[in-house]
Amino acid sequence: MTSATIKLFLPHGDAKRLRVGEVSNWTGKALAAPRTEVDDLLLREEAESAGIYFLFGSDPESGDALAYIGEAEVIRDRLKQHKAKDFWNAVVVFVSKDENLTKAHIRYLENRLLQEAKTAGRYRLENANASNPKLPESDREDMEVFLARIQQVLPVLGSDLLTPISGSHKTTKPQRELLCKIKGAAACGKRTEGGFVVYKDSTAVLVERPSAEGQHPYIVALRKKLVQDGTLVETNGVLMFTKDVEFGSPSAAAAVIHGGGANGLTAWKGANGKTLKELEES
């Protein structure tokens, strides 16, 4: 992904309220706001344009991160309709400053964004299907550039919806792959921008430690959730990861693998046997 200079404007001087984002030499513009500020966003001139929008929130029953990706020829009218949806608490909108986005363009973007969000797998999507309009080759290339800018700007505005769980494809320095082994379970992972990822096909112990329920109830609950949603499945006396999973820290990842509390800085080791702590201090 190319480098970029992103400029954020805070109309109210508060980074948690309405924000306006622009990228140098890009015709797009982003607007982001918490639900409490959506009326201010709707009053802006940009809300009269065609564009793409994201609604972010959580499932009230499971607590899972939930998102809705949509398109509209008039952003203001569509967002007013979405006030009836209860789950969302934040909105991000992308429009074109030169007003050259057509209905076919935004439908193409919606379809591509849904694909990218499904691939990233960080959010459950409220809507999963979209039309796939045919565009001339030159228009498709233009929209792929627009998509790439959305992928750059969205994390700056507070959402990792489109960010691959395994981290950025290119980093300033190579990330070491690390191993965590205990009682027949073996996992492989690495640090990422968001915490620590455990790779698909890694394994965790089948049964939690006797002390885990009292001392680490969060880990017990997290393991149960991962089993319930199919992320961990029992196989050959261990629990296997069916996909890459990102945790908030090396310790959280190691604790799930160990079935109880764990110090990630010592539980994770490089191929040379050095602990993560030793590797990061060297």
Q: What pLDDT, on the 0 to 100 scale, is given for residue 63?
A: 78
Q: What pLDDT, on the 0 to 100 scale, is given for residue 99?
A: 81
pLDDT in tens, 23-56: 998 999 999 999 999 999 999 999 999 999 999 9
Using the structure block, give the residue that is written with the tokens 């940009």. Answer: 46
60 — pLDDT class (breaks 50, 70, 90): confident
Q: What pLDDT, on the 0 to 100 scale, is given for residue 133?
A: 82
3-class DSSP state for residue 229? coil
Q: Give the mean pLDDT of 96-115.
A: 93
The percent of residues above 70 in pLDDT, for the chain, comes to: 96
What is the spatial distance between Cα 164 and Cα 259, in angstroms, rounded to a whole number?
26
Q: Give the mean pLDDT of 148-156.
A: 95
Q: For 22, phi and psi rounded to 5 degrees? A: -140, 155
Query: With 70 as the cut, is the pLDDT of residue 171 above it?
Result: no
Q: What pLDDT, on the 0 to 100 scale, is given for residue 174?
A: 54
- The amino acid sitting at 260 is G
Q: Do the strands 185-192 and 178-182 form a parallel or antiparallel pair, or are they unpaired? A: antiparallel
93: left (phi over 0), alpha (psi -120 to 50) or beta: beta
Using the structure block, give the residue that is written with the tokens 């550039």. Answer: 145
Calculate the CA 247 to chain-centre distance: 12
Q: What pLDDT, on the 0 to 100 scale, is given for residue 115?
A: 93
Q: Give the mean pLDDT of 54-66.
A: 87
18 close to 12: Cβ distance less than 8 angstroms:
yes
Query: With 90 as the cut, is the pLDDT of residue 226 above it?
Result: yes
129 — pLDDT class (breaks 50, 70, 90): confident
Calculate the CA 105 to chain-centre distance: 24
What is the spatial distance between Cα 179 and Cα 257, in angstroms, rounded to a whole number?
11
153 — pLDDT class (breaks 50, 70, 90): very high
Query: With 60 as the cut, is the pLDDT of residue 172 above it?
Result: no
pLDDT in tens, 132-150: 788 999 999 999 999 999 9
Query: With 70 as the cut, is the pLDDT of residue 156 above it?
Result: yes
Query: With 90 as the cut, is the pLDDT of residue 93 above it?
Result: yes
Average pLDDT of the chain is 92
Q: What pLDDT, on the 0 to 100 scale, is given for residue 1?
A: 66
Q: For 239, phi and psi rounded to 5 degrees? A: -105, 130
Q: Give the mean pLDDT of 227-250.
A: 94
